[in-house]
Amino acid sequence: MKKWLILGSLAAVVAGAVSFTTVPPVNTKAALGEKLFNEKILSKDSSVSCASCHIPSMGFADSTAFSIGIGETPTTRNTPSVLNMKHRPYFFWDGRAASLEQQALMPIANKDEMGLPVAEAVQRLRANKTYRNLFLKIFGSLPTAKNLSAALAAYEKTLETDDSKFDLSFDEEFPLTDSEERGRLLFVGDKAKCFDCHMGPDFTNDDFKNIGLYNGTTLNDAGRFKITGKKEDLGKFKTPGLRNVAITAPYMHNGMFKTLEEVVDYYNNPRAVVKDPVNIDESLREPLELTADERTDLINFLKTLTDKRFNKNPY
């Protein structure tokens, strides 16, 4: 069960039951999806799988600001975690995909990621005896673009992390430390205001916000604006969930912060880092004035959100 905190109080709301099965043997859509997630033949030169960038031991993110796909070209944005995607209404930093099924085929075809036309990916799976049999067994049909994306999405939907120290702390037998608890209260309180955007069971409002990482020149990824063309969306990015954030460094759409310390220092006074941010969210216009101890407490709270159950890669 995934629980979450309501503004400052200890109240827990049960947000949904989570169940999952893992491989091997491969006899469910999700298990087939896991195998495909780790399958390098889905890239043009068979050198890269989804898991090459979404690395299980790193919370299904990557350890570099930009990942390298086929060839030498780096991605233009930081690789986000694919944990806790099941309840998200949008995917990618700018929200350009509306479902995991739609999203799943995009990195395969993307010339800088896996660089393989989807039709060709399907042909390769059909030509492979193991996959032909698995798709026939599980979907009752040969591989198609549709069931390929369905399998990948089914796997991703199993990657729900609800067994962190934070989750356990709802049981009074496993309380947070004093520092973690002070950090939690800061997180949901009016001083740090994190919960304004990082709310709900996965610590995201599923909305697009501008935290000041756009000034048109040195920081020139226009984010959500690229999709909507609306001026008010300039510099807005999808609020990322914060579960497992302690193991998904570096941070932000451009990977510009290497540590949680740098992230919290940034929020404390954005303008000390970015001159003239365009369109920065109202809640971040004044420095937060968090003390050094408060910043430490906040980070200690963020570290309670880690659940490493999915960190091992069986393939």
Q: Considering the rule CB under 6 A, would residue 84 count as an interface residue with ligand HEC?
A: no
Cis check: omega of the bond before 25, within 30 degrees of 0: yes
| Tokens linked to 27 | 């006899």
Q: Which stretch binds ligand HEC (CB under 6 A): 11-19, 102-110, 132-140, 224-232?
A: 102-110
Residue with tokens 């890269």: 48
Q: Is 205:238 a contact under the CB 8 Å cutoff?
A: no
Sign of CA dihedral 197, 203, 204, 210: positive
Q: Considering the rule CB under 6 A, would residue 303 count as an interface residue with ligand HEC?
A: no
Provide the mask over 242-271, with x wherever binding to ligand HEC is found by CB under 6 A and - wherever it is not: x--x--x--xxx------x--xx--x----
**Closest separation in Å from C-beta 77 to ligand HEC:** 4
**Closest separation in Å from C-beta 117 to ligand HEC:** 13
Q: Considering the rule CB under 6 A, would residue 116 count as an interface residue with ligand HEC?
A: no
| Tokens linked to 277 | 């941010």
Tell me how many degrees the CA angle 264-211-308 measures, rounded to the nearest 5: 50
| CB neighbourhood size of 20 (10 A) | 14
Q: Which of residues 18-57 bind ligand HEC (CB under 6 A)?
A: 48, 50, 52-54
Q: How many whole angstroms separate alpha carbon 238 and alpha carbon 236?
A: 7
Q: Which of residues 122-141 bind ligand HEC (CB under 6 A)?
A: none
**What is the identity of the amino acid at 70?**
I
Contact positions vs ligand HEC (CB under 6 A):
48, 50, 52-54, 67, 69, 75, 77, 79-80, 82, 85, 91-93, 100, 103-104, 107-108, 113-114, 152, 156, 192-194, 196-198, 209, 211, 213, 237, 239-240, 242, 245, 248, 251-253, 260, 263-264, 267, 281, 283-284, 298
